[in-house]
Every structure is written in C-alpha cells, then in structure tokens.
Amino acid sequence: LAEQIAALISNDTRREKLMNLMERESEEDGVREDIFDGNVYKKQKSLFKGDMDIAISLYIDGFAPFNKGKTSMTIFNIILLNLSPKERYKNENMIQVCVLPVKPKSMDNFLEPLFIELHKLQTAGLEVRCGAGVFRLNVHLMLTSGDIVAVQELIHHSYRALYGCRICPVKTIKALSPEGVGNGNYFSGLRNNVHQFRDIVHYIDGAPEFSIKKKTKFAELDSFHGASFFGLDEMHLIGTNVSKRIWEMVSGSFKNTTTMFELSNAARQVIGSSVETSTSTIPSSIFEGDFRNYHTKPGNMRAVDWTCFLMFVVPTMVCDMLELQLGTEQAEDVIDALASLVTGCAIALSWRITEEDIIKMESSFIKWHQYMHDVIPINMYSSNMHYLQHIPEMVRLLGPLRCFSARSMERAIGFLKKRIKSQKNPGVNAGNILRRQQACRYYSSLLEDRQVLEENVNNNTPLTAYSLGVTDEEIDNTPNDIELWDHSEHEVDDYSDVNLRHYLVKFGDENFQMIELDGMT
C-alpha cells in the first residue's frame, strides 16, 4: 500500500489532483456531495494536519474468476478519497492491495500485514522523495465496505444471527423461508421506530450477547467511528438485492409466500416484451444500466440493470399493471408503498443530497417499512429490506452513498477476471497480474513526468523513493516488524515448466556475445 501511494504522490499530474483536506470546506451548508460533507469527517478533521494527508477507503468482495468451477477469490480494493469523485474511481487511480485465492478461515490473519501498514501510515506517516521534492504525509482509513457477507467477516458477525443487523441491535424473528426450505431470521423490527446505531463498544470490545463474537481489528485505528465505518453499499443493497427482490415478489417466485405485488404471467410477459422492444428508442448514454426482458432473462441482469428496473419500470409499467389487475381502489395502498420505496431509493442514489432530501428519504422508507410490517409476510423482510431504514442516517454521517460506492470494485474484478487464465494456480496468476499492473502504472507515471528538467534530478538518488516512519512502540525493532522490501532466491530450473532456461539462453544469444548461467555458457 505504501509503495503504491508513494508512486502516485511522485507523479506530478496525479499529485496535483489530490484535495488538500485541511482546506476542504462544504460548498453549501446542509448539502452533501461527498464523504467530506458528512458528520463523520467533520468530527475527524483534526486527524488531517498536513496539506498532503490522505484519506482512503477499503472495499472487499468475493468473486468467481471462472464461469465454471468452485474457485472463489477475494479482492481488496483501495480508493483515494482525496481525488474528486470523478477521478477516484478510474482504474489507474485505484489500488488493489491483495487478492486471496481461497476463502480464509480467519480474515484477520490474512489482513495482519495490512493492519500493521495502516497503523504505521496513520501514526508515523510516509515520506516520499521524488524529482519534485520531499513529501511527508499521513494516511487514514475512513471506511471499509462491501456486501453484507464480506463486511460481516471483518466484524465477526453474521446476518443469520439473532441480532443479525451489523448496524443496530434489532432482534430477528425465525420463520420458514420464502422458498419453503429451512428457516431463516427476518427483520420486521418495530413498526414506528428505527433502531439506533450500535454502541461503538460493540466493535471495540466485541459483544457476543448481541451477535458480534469479538472485537474488530479496524477498531484499533484512530479513524474508526463505529457502525458507520463499514458504510452501506448502494450497488449491493439497492441493486443486487432490494430491486431484484421486488421483481421476485412481482413474479411470485416463492413457493411459501405470496404478496399483493404479484402479477399474472400475462402481465409479466407484457412488461418484459415491452421493455425489450423499446430498447432501440432508449438513449444508452442517459442510463447506467441496460433494459432487458425481465420475464425471460432475469439471470442476465446486473446490479445496475436491476436499479434501472426499480427506478423506471416499477413506478410506470409495474404500477400500471397492478392497477389493472387489482382495481384502482384496492391497488392504491400497494402503489403508494412501491412509490415510497422508489422515492427513497432515488434520493439515496443521488450525488447531491440536501437536508430536506434526507427528511423526505426518511419518511419514504418509514412508509415502505410500515407497509411491509403490516401487510407483507415476515419472511420477505430480509436484512437488505431492513438496511434501507439506516440509509438516511448513513448519508448524514458519510454523505451520498454514491460517493463511497463499491461499484469501483466491480471494475477491478472485471479487469482481473478477463486476465486470470490458470485454473491450476489462480492465486499465483492473480498476484502476477497485480504486479504487472503496478509496474505498468509506474512506467506510465514516468512518461507523464518527462517534463522534469534533468538538472533538477539528483543522479545519486533513486528517481522515486519512500519510507515509512517508525512509531514509538517499534523502536525496539521487534521480530514482527513489517518488511516492505523483500527478495527471493530461485534457480533457473525452478521454472522448468515455462522453459525459462531456453528463453534466457535465446535472449543472451540475441543481446550479448557471451552469457554465463548456472555454469552454462
């Protein structure tokens, strides 16, 4: 992590795009357009004492590198929040710190080197020496997010537990699943009140009585701020889960549950075919997702496609079909509930949110929650439906969901999936891809900075160098000290599977008159 941040800082073009967080102020009171407009940053602004100090966010998600097989990998993607929202999600500005080739039994053990480095970066800081001078800075992790499954492993929690919400201590209710197979825990909660966020102590010390088995390592960071530290990801929450669940209700996909949202097969066919035939008239540049035939091809839908379905198809075609099927009077409450859900999600997905918007979003989600609580079977009230109630407060604390969305991570996953070819050693393959990617980025940064005058460069020092400071507790040079630079000793025959000896000899013949390799001339 330190090495990659140093490479970015040493690049003049990219360094100039970094915001000075000491001087950063909200453009308009009561308006949230970035994470720095949220209440969390305003409380923690004192952490950023230098004009080059950096705020970062970490995203974690699992993915399958191959369409067939059981191989599962986990990616850790870092975003530099000092970059503007339009810049921070570009591939060249994101940092992939590692990819785990298997699902670990203990995530903490795998992340220990990263925790050590984060602690050093926040406490002792980073010094970068390059052609433009010497830059000293501290780095603070402001957010760690991802989907529900990824985050629960970081805080030693489970959404299937008695207290299955990682944000509040709501007690779940056990019921037969909508599919009619096995029991699950569901989150109807209180009808008229939203549970308050968990006490920060639950994460610092652990709270087994509230289903957090032990403390999270992230609580050791100075920047940790409790439940909001793990955010809420709009892509997984609204796109992949809530929007898809609405279509499943409309389709009557569950053997053990029916709802007032269910439409006839003929009505669903009309919706699917109408959307499909209209795609040629829909300007693709306006919408982030695609409009597909939801009736025949729901398996091809991406998160952004499901979001488009909720935002544009539900309030139009779905509501129209419900009115035709149920009658105007009987459909009124059903349509009002769906309209409230769409309104709340539309505000939550906005890039600019005012205090009035938050109040409107809050009332919309409450109305949706009350309808679900009163009318819909309890086994439809999943954890994702419950998390909708926490979005307004999360926006107050962290700003618009889009400003810390995990959508960027999907780009990184897409980049890796296209390049991972080895089914025998996918982890090694992924590691090599990340190394090559970093090398290419560094080379590109050198090309961008060719305008640096030769006379200003000290030929006795590296073009770019960096060092991590030393914290007080590390002065004794304990054996567990992190080593950023390492070496590896191998023999040519260790790489016989790729015929390395042949290619080295061939390279030597083409470029040198004589080369000696392992005693071979």
Across residues 53-70, what is the average pLDDT? 87
pLDDT confidence bin for 8, thresholds 50/70/90: confident
Q: What is the pLDDT of residues 295-349, one digit of tens each?
A: 887 877 888 899 999 999 999 999 999 999 999 999 999 999 999 999 999 999 9
pLDDT confidence bin for 466, thresholds 50/70/90: low
Confidence check: pLDDT of 60 > 70: yes
pLDDT confidence bin for 464, thresholds 50/70/90: low
pLDDT value of position 487: 40
Indicate the average pLDDT of the chain: 85
CB distance 120 to 130 below 8 Å = no
pLDDT value of position 371: 96
Using DSSP's 3-state secondary structure scheme, residue 245 falls into helix
Q: What is the pLDDT of residues 35-47, one digit of tens each?
A: 999 999 999 999 9
pLDDT value of position 465: 59
- 204-208, 258-262, 297-301, 446-450, range with greatest mean pLDDT: 204-208
All residues at 6 or more sequence positions from 207 whose CB lies less than 8 Å from its CB, including other chains: 198, 201
Q: CA-CA distance, 430 to 412, in Å (whole number)?
A: 12
Q: CA-CA distance, 336 to 371, in Å (whole number)?
A: 9
- 150-164, 269-283, 340-354, 415-429, range with greatest mean pLDDT: 340-354
Q: CA-CA distance, 431 to 12, in Å (whole number)?
A: 28
Across residues 38-65, what is the average pLDDT? 92
| Token reading at 309 | 């379905």
Confidence check: pLDDT of 217 > 70: yes
**Of 142, 414, 145, the residue nearest 304 (C-alpha):** 414
Confidence check: pLDDT of 455 > 60: no
All residues at 6 or more sequence positions from 167 whose CB lies less than 8 Å from its CB, including other chains: 197, 198, 227, 230, 232, 387, 390
Confidence check: pLDDT of 372 > 50: yes
All residues at 6 or more sequence positions from 360 whose CB lies less than 8 Å from its CB, including other chains: 343, 347
Per cent of the chain over pLDDT 90 is 52
Radius of gyration of the chain (CA): 26
Confidence check: pLDDT of 244 > 90: yes
pLDDT value of position 164: 95
Which CA distances in Å does 360 have to 189, 311, 347, 388, 393?
21, 17, 8, 13, 12
Which CA distances in Å does 178 have to 54, 258, 273, 294, 497?
46, 9, 27, 20, 51
pLDDT value of position 118: 95
Confidence check: pLDDT of 457 > 50: no
Give the lowest-confidence range in 36-40, 151-155, 190-194.
190-194
**Of 410, 407, 412, the residue nearest 91 (C-alpha):** 412
Q: Write the secondary structure of 418-474 as one string of H (helix), E (strand) and C (coil).
A: HHCCCCCCHHHHHHHHHHHHHHHHHHHHHHHCCCCCHHHCCCCCCCCEEEECCCHHH
More confident residue, 279 or 512: 279
Half-sphere exposure of 47 (CA within 13 A, CB side): 24
**Of 195, 298, 288, the residue nearest 245 (C-alpha):** 298
Q: What is the pLDDT of residues 473-501, one digit of tens each?
A: 544 444 343 333 334 456 777 767 657 77
Confidence check: pLDDT of 88 > 60: yes
Q: CA-CA distance, 381 to 421, in Å (whole number)?
A: 40
